[in-house]
Amino acid sequence: MTTEQDRGEARCNQVLDAAATCFRQRGFHGASMAELARAAGMSVGHIYHYFENKEAIIAAIVERDVAEILALLDSLHDEEDILQALIREAGNEMEESPCSDEALQVEILAEASRNPKVAVTVHEGDRRARTRLAETIASGRARRGLPPLADLEARTEIIIALFEGLMLRRIRHPKAVDDATIAVLRSTLHTLLET
Amino acid sequence: MTTEQDRGEARCNQVLDAAATCFRQRGFHGASMAELARAAGMSVGHIYHYFENKEAIIAAIVERDVAEILALLDSLHDEEDILQALIREAGNEMEESPCSDEALQVEILAEASRNPKVAVTVHEGDRRARTRLAETIASGRARRGLPPLADLEARTEIIIALFEGLMLRRIRHPKAVDDATIAVLRSTLHTLLET
DNA sequence: CATTCTAGATTGAACATTCATTCTATTGCG
DNA sequence: CGCAATAGAATGAATGTTCAATCTAGAATG
């Protein structure tokens, strides 16, 4: 039973991995099921053995994305100095090569703006993410012996906005990365996190 | 001749206004030409009298968007205190009702991430926008008697990231608007613009 | 003035293509 | 052998675009 479940799950992931690639390149509605099938190394008809329809695949991709973001936030708890790790990571994120996930992220947001089911997942995922980030920041400050913030949620919101804006910058201005910009970013985060 | 040009332009704008509405609701590739025609009050075939194909309509919408952003930046020059106007406007933007243009903005970015022609327009528009914003900030500081910034471009980049992130927040967390968040936003912008 | 003509504007059905999904036949495995 | 996994052609619907037919408005004519 476990082996069969594993195999089923592996096949689902095979589809989803392929779907993520196709969706990233072509968008949710530009990528056809035929393309997904090719990329997954599976027949078109067989995809429907694992997913009810294309919309179910889209929903699964969105949920996966939410889970990844939450896992990333979780990993911050392992850092000795959480605040420094956040600041460091922001700069590192900015230096990432542009072939990462902003295309898929933007597609998810575009879909959320017009598909109520996706919007629900995105909103719930966001609620959990910002709660977790707020806790993480509070925890990091406590470790540093800094006083609790009265405006913790507000600062969290602005920090998230900044991170999300940086992602968009990678589409609009892919060459934005330089030392000065990273320095301003880190200084801004320092103000938001450590003062 | 002028009247005919005007009529042609009016008809083009009729199509583009309708297209913007349909694209906002359904996305570039979810909205059909039949829907655009209905919304424009024009026959499907006649749209092709004004635009070569659907892609030309998409391109025109993107260019329109770029022009609007640049016009908005231009209007800042009329302010007595440019820096304060920027800070004030940021808070006002945040308070906007969520039925504004983030859906179309995100769709444009999604398209730019996978359509090279749109990407060129978006990149060029961004280059002009950030140049103009940097000049505006420099001008605002000069009016205040503040010293020029060595890291002007870097600060501009982070400010743009923040504005763009706020737009995404309207999709992910539509209820984010409260006084505390606006206060943090304005404080952050104060640091970036006025110190 | 009424009628006719002409050219441009306009329509929407037709067309060819593509799509998401279904379903029958085949394959693989225990 | 029987059942589950799998393939891919078939299906019906939807799409972007074309094009022949029709409409409209203004000029020309008697």
- Out of B11, B34, B51, a domain closes at B51
Taking residues A49-74, report their average pLDDT: 95
Of A64, A81, A90, A103, give the one whose Cα is nearest residue A187.
Answer: A90
Which domain range does residue B80 map to? 60-194
- A30-46 residue pLDDT tens: 999 999 999 999 999 99
| Other beta carbons less than 10 A from residue B30's beta carbon | 18
Is residue A96 predicted with pLDDT exceeding 80? no
In this structure, are B41 and B65 located in the same domain?
Answer: no
| Number of domains chain B contains | 2
In this structure, are B113 and B40 located in the same domain?
Answer: no
pLDDT of the residue at B2: 53
Instruction: Kindly report the CATH number assigned to the domain that includes residue A47.
Output: 1.10.10.60
The confidence band for A4, taking pLDDT boundaries of 50, 70 and 90, is low
Residue A175 in contact with partner chain B when CB distance is under 8 A: no
In this structure, are B82 and B177 located in the same domain?
Answer: yes
pLDDT of the residue at B5: 67
In this structure, are A39 and A73 located in the same domain?
Answer: no
pLDDT of the residue at A78: 84
In this structure, are B71 and B27 located in the same domain?
Answer: no
Is residue A185 predicted with pLDDT exceeding 90? yes
Is residue B97 predicted with pLDDT exceeding 70? no
Whether B178 sits inside 8 A of A107 (CB atoms) is no
What is the share, in percent, of chain B residues with pLDDT greater than 90?
Answer: 77
In this structure, are A40 and A117 located in the same domain?
Answer: no
- B17-31 residue pLDDT tens: 999 999 999 999 999
CA distance B8 to chain A (A): 32
Extract long-range pairs of B79-82: CB within 8 Å, 24+ residues apart: B80/B143, B81/B140, B81/B143, B81/B144, B82/B136, B82/B137, B82/B139, B82/B140, B82/B143
pTM of the entire predicted model: 0.91
pLDDT of the residue at A80: 86
Is residue A2 predicted with pLDDT exceeding 60? no
Taking residues A122-131, report their average pLDDT: 96
pLDDT of the residue at A34: 95
Of A24, A142, A155, A81, give the one whose Cα is nearest residue B114.
Answer: A24
The confidence band for B149, taking pLDDT boundaries of 50, 70 and 90, is very high
Residues of A whose CB is below 8 A from B110: 27, 103, 106-107, 110
Distance from CA(A133) to C1'(D27), angstroms, rounded: 75
Residue B123 in contact with partner chain A when CB distance is under 8 A: yes
- Out of A11, A34, A51, a domain closes at A51
H or E element, residue A35? helix A33-40
pLDDT of the residue at B89: 84
In this structure, are A147 and A114 located in the same domain?
Answer: yes
In this structure, are A126 and A99 located in the same domain?
Answer: yes
In this structure, are A21 and A95 located in the same domain?
Answer: no
